[in-house]
Amino acid sequence: MHVTAIIAAGGRGERFGAGRPKQLHDIDGRSILERSVRLFLEHPAIDDVIVVLPPELAVAPPFAVGQAKALRVVAGGVRRQDSVANAFAAVPRHAELVVIHDAARPFASADLIARTIEAAAQSGAALAALPARDTVKRAASRPSHVEDSGQAGTGRDVLVLETLPRETVYLAQTPQAFRRELLQAALEFAAREGIEATDEATLVERAGHQVRLVTGEETNIKITVPEDLPIAGAIAGRSAPSAARAGVGYDIHRLVEGRPLVLGGVTIPFDRGLLGYSDADAVCHAITDAILGAAAAGDIGRHFPNDQTAWRDASSIDLLRRAAAVVHAHGFEVANVDASVIAERPKLGPYIDTMRRNLAAALGVDLARVSVKGKTNDGVGELGRGEAIAVHATALLYAR
C-alpha cells in the first residue's frame, strides 16, 4: 500500500506573533517544521512526503532533509483546505492512502501515525482524537449592557445553552488519514458546495462518509500561541535522545594537475585538483569518517573501498549521503558537523556557504548544523607550500 503524507504548514501563524511564520520557531535546537517533516520522512509506513508552505517559503524551503524519501514542496493557498487541495494535486496517482498532519503538532509518535494509517486502511477515513476529560458546555453569547459611572457600556455575555455528555465529545488532532478516492471526493464536494472547514475529517463527514476515531496522545499538542512553548520545550526535553556520540575525521590529498578541485561538493576553479580514487573531495571524506566513527560503523575505506570499480571517480557527496544512511541504520541521527579545511590556495570564502548547503542536504540536517571553515598553514610544510589540502572534521550524533 502506497502512503503519501501531506504536512500542512501553509499558514503564517498570525496568532503566534513573533514576526515570522510559527513553523520556523526553534524548539530545543530544531524548528517546529523540521520536527514535523521528519516524523513522516522517517516513518516506515510513509512512502513520500509533500510539504505545504507559504508561497514565499516554498520558493526556498527553510530545511534540508536529504534524499531518503521522495519529498515535494508546494505553495499553500488562502485557506487550509486550499493548501491541502494544492498538495493533493501533487499526490502520486498510485497512492492509495493520504495522511494529513499539521506542522504545528511536532510531537506525534510513530505509533500514533501507524494506528491512524491502519484504521483508515480498514474504514476509509480516520483521525486521532482525545476524549474530553472535563464537563463540556455548549454556549452562546448575547449583547450585554453594563452601567459604569452612568455610562452605558456594551459587551457580550457568554451563556450556557446545554451540558453535553462528555463521553460523546472528542478533541480532534492530526494525523488524519483517508483513502485517496474518498479524500478526493470530499475535496471536490467542498469546492462544489462552497463548504469551509478547519480539518479534512469535517469535509469527509459533510460529504456523507463516516470517520473512525483513533485514540490520540496528550503530548501531541498543537503549538498555537507563545504560551504553548514552555510545554513544547518540556515535551522535547523528555523525548530528547538519551545519548550522544562524538567522532573525528581527517583526510589529506595531494594537489596535481589535470584534476578538478572538488570540496564540499563544489567544483572550485583552480589550476590543480586533488588526487584520489573518487573525486577526492577531502571535506566529504573527513566528515564521512567522523560520522561513521561516532556510530562505531567503520570508516570510509570499509564502506567504499578503492579496489572496487563502483567507487572510481564517484561523487563524494553521494558517498556522504550513503554514510549518513548507514549511521541512521545504526540508530543515530546527526546533531552537527564541523570541518576545518587547511588550504594555502585557493581562497575558499566564496564557496563556503554552497559547501554547507551541499553537506546539509547529504546529511539530511538543517543548514545551521553544518560548519565549514577555511584555514591556511602559514607556509609551513607541504600544506603551507600548496602541495596538498587537508581537512579535520568532528561530528556529534544523537541516539534515536
Residue 86 has pLDDT above 70, yes or no: yes
146 and 85 within one domain: no
**Domain end among 238, 263, 289:** 238
Q: How many domains does the chain have?
A: 3
Look at the block and give the residue holding cell 523528555: 238
For residue 341, give the nearest of 355, 354, 360 by alpha carbon.
Answer: 355
Write the DSSP symbol of residue 343. Answer: -
Residues 115 and 194 both lie in one domain: yes
- Predicted local distance difference test score (pLDDT) of residue 145: 60
pLDDT of residue 149: 47
Q: Do 196 and 304 have their domain in common?
A: no
Helix (H, G, I), strand (E, B) or coil at 197: coil
Q: For residue range 42-51, what is the model confidence (pLDDT) as tens digits?
A: 888 899 999 9
Matching residue, cell 479524500: 183
How does the average pLDDT of the chain come out, rounded? 88
Whichever domain contains 39, its CATH number is 3.90.550.10
Separation of alpha carbons 238 and 233, rounded Å = 9
Q: Are residues 65 and 184 in the same domain?
A: yes
- Number of continuous H segments (helices) and E segments (strands) in the chain: 12, 18
DSSP string for residues in 276-335? SSS---HHHHHHHHHHHHHTT---HHHHS-TTSGGGTT--HHHHHHHHHHHHHHTTEEEE
Instruction: Match 520536527 to its residue by C-alpha cell.
Output: 35
Place 19 in a pLDDT band, splitting at 50, 70 and 90: low
Residues 279 and 337 in one domain: yes
Q: Alpha-carbon torsion 218, 224, 228, 232, what sign? A: positive
Does residue 104 share a domain with residue 51?
yes
Q: What band does 202 get if pLDDT is binned at 50, 70 and 90?
A: very high
Domain boundary among 238, 263, 295: 238
Q: How far apart are CA 282 and CA 257, in angstroms?
A: 17
Q: Which of these, 192, 200, 194, 51, lies nearest to 125 by C-alpha position?
A: 200
Residues 259-311 pLDDT 10s: 999 999 999 999 999 999 999 999 999 999 999 999 999 999 999 988 888 88
Same domain, 186 and 150: no
The burial of 218, by beta-carbon neighbours within 10 Å (0-12 exposed, 13-18 middle, 19 or more buried), is given as: exposed
Say if residue 375 is exposed, middle or buried (CB neighbours under 10 Å; 0-12, 13-18, 19+).
middle
Cα 284 to Cα 251: distance, rounded to the nearest angstrom: 9
Q: Quick one: 109 exposed, middle or buried, by C-beta within 10 A (0-12, 13-18, 19+)?
A: middle
| Cα→Cα distances 8→37, 165, 219, 319, Å | 10, 32, 19, 32
Where does a domain end: 220, 238, 256? 238
Q: What is the Cα Rg of the chain in Å?
A: 26
Condensed to tens digits (0 to 9), the pLDDT of residues 350-369 reads 999 999 999 999 998 888 88
**Strand 370-375 with 332-342, pairing:** parallel
Q: How far is 177 from 167, CA to CA, in rounded Å?
A: 23
C-alpha 68/C-alpha 359 separation (Å) is: 15
Place of cell 544523537: 398
CA distance 362 to 64: 9
What pairs with residue 213 in β-bridges?
127
Q: What share of the chain is helix, strand, coil (3-state, %, to 5)?
A: 35, 30, 35
**Pair (304, 193) in one structural domain:** no
Rounded Cα–Cα distance for residues 189 and 391 (Å):
59
- All three cell numbers of 340, joined, read 576545518
Range of the domain at 103: 3-132+169-238
Q: 126 forms bridges with which residues in the sheet?
A: 177, 212
Cell of 285: 571524506
| pLDDT of 64 strictly over 90 | no
Q: Are residues 231 and 375 in the same domain?
A: no
Residue 278 pLDDT: 93
Do 45 and 102 fall within a single domain?
yes
The answer to whether the CB of 287 falls within 8 A of the CB of 370 is no
Alpha-carbon distance of 206 to 270, in angstroms, equals 64
pLDDT of residue 244: 81
CATH code, 281: 3.30.1330.50
Same domain, 177 and 288: no
- CB–CB of 81/203 below 8 Å? yes
- 14/63 same-domain check: yes
- pLDDT tens track for 239-262: 555 568 999 999 999 999 999 999
pTM of the model: 0.59
The per-residue pLDDT for range 134-170, each reduced to its tens digit, is 899 999 888 876 554 444 445 778 899 999 998 899 9
